[in-house]
Chains A and B, each alone.
Chain A
Amino acid sequence: MNNSGELTAEAVQPAPTAEQPAPAQPSAGRPPSTTRRQLQQIAIEMFSAQGYDEVTIEALAAAAGIGRRTFFRYFGSKADALMADFDQEVERLRSALAGSDPGLPVMDAIRLAIVAVNDYHAQDLAQFRQRLQLQHSNPALLANGILHYERWQAVVAEFAAARLGQPADGLQPQVIARSVFGAAYAGFMSWLADDSGDLSPRLDAALRTLTKAGQLR
């Protein structure tokens, strides 16, 4: 991405559309995640500068050098443009859990997987901070974020359910998924608030706090 925040033409040729001819190389079924990230970056910049409600999808697409229909190949809505990293994290979490050692207790497996997939934030803390601030500044973005959080929790619930031999919508897998999400979110908020240290140890400590909670007086 260049300094003006525009995508290079090369990066935005994922699919044949009305505006753009089909790229020479065979088209993959799924748009590349790098381009989703670039669109996310443009969205962060435009939402921050102009306000989320003022930015149209057309303007967002134009800034990226793509058409409206191409935009919808990457994201289902304007608000979703802010969730590229998070969506990717959900998929990484799913893979990490699927690959976890079956000999580990279920809560240890979940803790280690969460800690392992969250290291990417460290690459761009300023952007991550800006994204969270944006999300909390607009009700539509906040509500949309909650829908994405539900998917993260569903991944944890499905893993716990499979391990425990229970349905994913049962009370125990849901308690695990929602408390683990709560603990991870507390880790994020605590880390954002004091602006120091690595994120991963903070997440690890938050999840370990729950392990010890039963012994607290």
Chain B
Amino acid sequence: MGRWVGVPGAAVPPAAGRVGRKRVTSRAELEHIAFDLFDRQGFEQTTIDDIACAAGIGRRTFFRYFPSKNDVPWGSFDEELERMRLHLKAFPPQIPLMDAIRVAIVDFNTFAPEQLPWHRRRMRLILRIPALQAHSTLRYAAWRQVITEFAADRIGQRPDALAPRTIGYAALGVAIAAYEQWLETENADLGGLLDAAMRQLDAAFGNRLAPAQAPAPRGP
């Protein structure tokens, strides 16, 4: 549990090379303060000084937690990405590739109930704020790379070969489709949607789609 939302009090491995970082409690608190400001005055209108001031810290302290304002919604994404890499690596070879990816994606996006409202706000920022989209492509690329490298390793190809690349891009597209559904529907089950979306990818491309008169369920 935990995953890449900043978890108050949770132990997240410190990023390499950072010295003297405060407890993650503070990072999560800073995130929450920033989210409130983004909601109240808009993402683009909120400055780093505004966030630092509201948090009672200096500008330089802000930069100890986040390299930029754009990084605030991404919490501890990078650290959690490393966990997803290890999770994928741990799957025994008899588990089919796409099943391993599906389970790892669901796990990567599993949150304790009290974190879900924050995660919803975070994802609404990431997926809905135009100013964040260019920045997000860097994070998406890092996520995709983890999937691509795993797929490449499994099928014995280089990570820049077409098939592993395709699996990385497609998996990201599927995850975003599930997230869009989740944001549209209060109380939707994120894990259930991600799981269903990955299974539907398989159904679609195996040409085993349900006929028109039997609509697929729209998530639990």
Contact = CB atoms under 8 A, between A and B. Distances in A.
Size class of the contact patch on chain A: 35 or more
B176 interface: yes
Nearest to A184: B169
Interface stretch (A46-54, A59-67, A70-78, A103-111): A103-111
B80 to A, nearest CB: 21
B204 A171 contact: no
Contacts of A185: 169
B170 A217 contact: no
B215 A166 contact: yes
A142 interface: yes
B166 A171 contact: no
Interface in B166-194: 166-174, 176-178, 180-181, 184, 193
Given A142-B137, A146-B133, A182 B212 contact: no
B219 interface: yes
A135 to B, nearest CB: 10
Nearest to B172: A182
A61 to B, nearest CB: 25
A69 to B, nearest CB: 25
B170 A210 contact: yes
A107 B207 contact: yes
B193 A211 contact: no
Contact of B204 (A169, A172, A206, A209): A172
B206 A211 contact: yes
Given A166-B215, A166-B216, A172-B200, A213 B207 contact: no
A109 to B, nearest CB: 11
Interface in A151-167: 163-166
28 contacts: A106-B209, A108-B207, A143-B134, A165-B212, A170-B215, A170-B218, A171-B178, A171-B181, A171-B218, A172-B204, A174-B177, A175-B173, A177-B173, A178-B170, A179-B177, A179-B204, A180-B173, A181-B173, A182-B169, A186-B170, A209-B166, A213-B201, A213-B205, A216-B96, A217-B96, A217-B97, A217-B154, A217-B155
Given A171-B197, A216-B155, 9 more contacts: A106-B207, A142-B133, A164-B215, A171-B181, A180-B173, A182-B169, A182-B171, A190-B162, A215-B96
